[in-house]
Amino acid sequence: MTAHAAHRMWIRVLPALLALAATGCTFADEEPAVHVGADAAVPTAGPDAASADVQVTVSDVRSSIEPGTLPTVAALPVHGRRGPDGLPFEVAQRTRDAGAAPARKFGARTLTIGMRTRAPDLTQYPCTACHNRAAVVRDADRPADAHRDIPTVHPSAAGGGCRTCHARADVGMLGLQDGDRVTMDHAYRLCAQCHFRQVDEWAAGGHGKRLDGWQGRRVVMGCTDCHDPHAPALQPRVPFRAPSLEPAGRNR
């Protein structure tokens, strides 16, 4: 298997691992509820899930995500907040596929929301492939390009390192300062440790993106759906076409 092929395979098994993280992992003493839409492919979670061939194609997911079919997890309390007036809400899971950033149907056309998808970047996933012991692999065994693609903007700006956020014993999880561990889906709990204002607003509806309609089920996107945790600022990009003020363009 070439290096490239290996790379592709990791991308394909990523959703399975995410599902595993969401369902299989227990932490603290809570069992996060998982709501998965009917059309989402959920592989059975198990120790060998990493090798499962996940039949999710880009076109499947792109075709349309109708309201009520988003894969979500229930949001856990952040500083006691559960959203406006204590109402529960859900967090949309991080995208399962490179091309599957929430694609929503507008009329006959499907629009891919320009949300950051991190999956293609995670070339060393799962972490346990290397970080399989309490200690990190020795320098001599470390692949040459390990983590070279991970920008360190946020860690260096915040004066932290990998373990400020990644759990020491199980790097597939995130470690909170109080010793709790959370899955990647609940990264907002980690972010909330410093960015408490933003997370408060996010939980209440003033920050971040709401999906799935204004009525009924409240589904919001998580922090890392938009912000790369290693370089959180959104990158500039070319906007959709500008309006024309030329009357000639309109009328003649």
1 contacts another protein (rule: CB under 8 A): no
Min separation Cβ 201 and another protein, Å: 7
Nearer to another protein, 67 or 120 (CB): 67
The binding track of 88-107 with respect to another protein, each residue x by CB under 8 A or -, is ----------------x-xx
Q: Which region, judged by CB under 8 A, interacts with another protein, from 45-53, 162-170, 182-190, 244-252?
A: 244-252
Nearer to another protein, 133 or 241 (CB): 241
- Give the number of other CB atoms < 10 A from CB of residue 66: 12
**CB under 8 Å to 18, separation ≥6 — which residues?**
93, 94, 96, 184, 185
> How many degrees, rounded to 5, is the angle at CA 81 between CA 79 and CA 220?
115
Q: What is the C-alpha R_g of the chain?
A: 20
Nearest to 149 by CA among 122, 127, 172: 122
Instruction: Quote the CA–CA distance of 67 and 193 in Å, as a whole number.
Output: 31
Nearest to 97 by CA among 117, 115, 79: 117
Restricted to residues 27-86, the positions that interact with another protein (CB under 8 A) are 67, 84-85
Q: Which region, judged by CB under 8 A, interacts with another protein, from 9-17, 72-80, 130-138, 201-209?
A: 201-209
Nearer to another protein, 92 or 167 (CB): 92
Min separation Cβ 215 and another protein, Å: 3
Phi, psi (rounded to 5 degrees) for 109: -110, 140
| Burial degree of 92 (CB within 10 A; 0-12, 13-18, 19+) | buried
Report which residue type is found at 39: D
Binding test (CB under 8 A) with another protein, winner from 9, 113, 136, 162? 113
Nearer to another protein, 179 or 236 (CB): 236
161 contacts another protein (rule: CB under 8 A): no
Restricted to residues 215-234, the positions that interact with another protein (CB under 8 A) are 215-216, 218, 221, 226, 234
Consecutive H or E run containing 111: strand 109-112
How many residues bind another protein (CB under 8 A)? The answer is: 46
- Residues that bind another protein in the complex, under the rule CB under 8 A: 67, 84-85, 87, 104, 106-109, 111, 113-115, 198, 201, 204-211, 213-216, 218, 221, 226, 234, 236-245, 247, 249-252
